[in-house]
Amino acid sequence: MTEHVNDPFVQRAKTEGYRARAAYKLMEIDDKDKLIRPGMVVVDLGAAPGSWSQVAINRVGDNGRVFALDLLPMEPIHRVQFMQGDFHDEEFVQRFEALLEGRTVDLVMSDIAPNISGIPTSDQARSIYLAELALDFASQHLAPGGRFLVKVFQGQGFDEFRKQMEGVFRSVAVRKPQASRGRSSEVYLLGSGKRN
């Protein structure tokens, strides 16, 4: 708890109005890899509490769209379209597709993590499972050439998941932003150039 309170990114998030320190992870990756551009359609999977959506809506500009999807409720963010539900439920996906109104998705991003049980093998398996669900969603909704950013914990299943991503995207890169705690096994995988 003390580490969290004294964390410079936590303090910065409070000062700058972001809902979580995770905002700085996305900003750093975006500054390096130019993920988010004006006019894009972006989907934030597992969006609550919304810090990634806050970053994305600022960067897509007035002509861009951000859709935030989560099982949990989320406080509204101006101009972000939030949908509460399971992004792997067929009826929910159909409602999301209706909101797209024929537009294609340029970027799917997911900072999703399971509720931690404290049993490392179980937590790792659940983390990989969520990443696989996010990849499945991205592969179905991204435009050709689109990009996918997802949080994954290094450990069992990581290499296999990376190979799955390499089957969907022309390149896959690993990113470890400064706002990720050094002792954490979390990294982000960035898939670029979705295959047709």
Residues that constitute the known binding site: 50, 52, 70, 86, 111
Q: How far apart are CA 184 and CA 186, in angstroms?
A: 5
Catalytic residue chosen out of the listed positions 25, 34, 151, 194? 151
The contacts of residue 97 (CB under 8 Å, 6+ apart) are: 141
Q: Which residues are annotated as a binding site for S-adenosyl-L-methionine?
A: 50, 52, 70, 86, 111
Q: Who's near 1: CB < 8 A, 6+ residues apart?
A: none
Residue 151 annotated among the catalytic residues of the structure: yes
Instruction: Collapse the DSSP code of 166 into the 3-class scheme (helix H, G, I; strand E, B; otherwise coil) and give the result.
Output: helix
Q: What are phi and psi of 38, to 5 degrees?
A: -55, 140
Give the residue numbers annotated as catalytic, written as ranges.
151
